[in-house]
Amino acid sequence: TGLKDVFKDDFLIGTAISNRTLETQDAELLALIAQEFNTITAENCMKSGEIQPAQGEWNWELADRFMAFGRENNMTMVGHALVWHSQTPSDLFVNASGEQVSRAELERRMVTHISTLMERYRGQVHIWDVVNEAIDEGKGWRNSPWFNIFGNADYMERAFQIAHEVDPNAQLLYNDYNMHNPEKRAFLVDVIRDYKQRGIPIHGVGLQGHVGLDFPDLGEFERSIVSYAEQGMRVHITELEVDVLPVAWDHIGAEISDEFEYSDELNPYADKLPSDIEARLTARYVEVFEMLLRHRDKIDRVSTWGTYDAESWKNDFPVKGRTNYPLLFDRQRKPKNAYHALSKLK
Residues lying near ligand XIL in the complex (CB under 6 A) = 43-44, 132, 208, 239, 313
Give 220's contacts (C-beta < 8 A, 6+ positions apart). 180, 181, 182, 185
Decide whether 203 or 210 has the Cβ nearer to ligand XIL. Answer: 210
CB closer to ligand XIL, 101 vs 306: 306
CA–CA distance, 3 with 74 (Å, rounded to integer):
16
Selected catalytic residue, list 133, 137, 278, 311: 133
Q: Tell me if residue 239 is catalytic.
A: yes
Tell me how far apart the alpha carbons of residues 179 and 168 are, in angstroms, rounded to a whole number. 27
Catalytic-role residue among 43, 137, 239, 311 = 239
- Cis-peptide into 170, omega within 30 deg: no
- The torsion angles phi and psi of 314, rounded to 5 degrees, stand at -70, -10
CB closer to ligand XIL, 99 vs 255: 255
Residue whose CB is less far from ligand XIL, 101 or 288: 288
Considering the complex, what minimum distance in angstroms separates the CB of residue 211 from ligand XIL?
Answer: 13
On whether the CB atoms of residues 57 and 90 are closer than 8 A, the answer is no
Q: What is the chain's alpha carbon radius of gyration, rounded to the nearest angstrom? A: 19
- Nearer of residues 42 and 338 to ligand XIL, judged by Cβ: 42
CA 33, 35, 41 angle in degrees (round to 5)? 35
Does residue 233 sit in helix, strand or coil?
coil
Strand 76-83 vs strand 140-141: parallel, antiparallel, or unpaired? unpaired
Beta carbon of residue 5, minimum distance to ligand XIL (angstroms, whole number): 26
Nearer to ligand XIL, 6 or 240 (CB): 240
d(CA 222, CA 203): 19
CA dist., res. 24 & res. 22, Å (int) = 6
Distance of CA 94 to the CA centre of its chain: 27
- Using Cβ positions, the residue closest to ligand XIL within the complex turns out to be 313
Question: What residues contact 123, with CB distance under 8 A and at least 6 apart?
Answer: 167, 169
CB of 10 to ligand XIL, least distance (A): 24
Catalytic residues, by residue number, are 133, 239
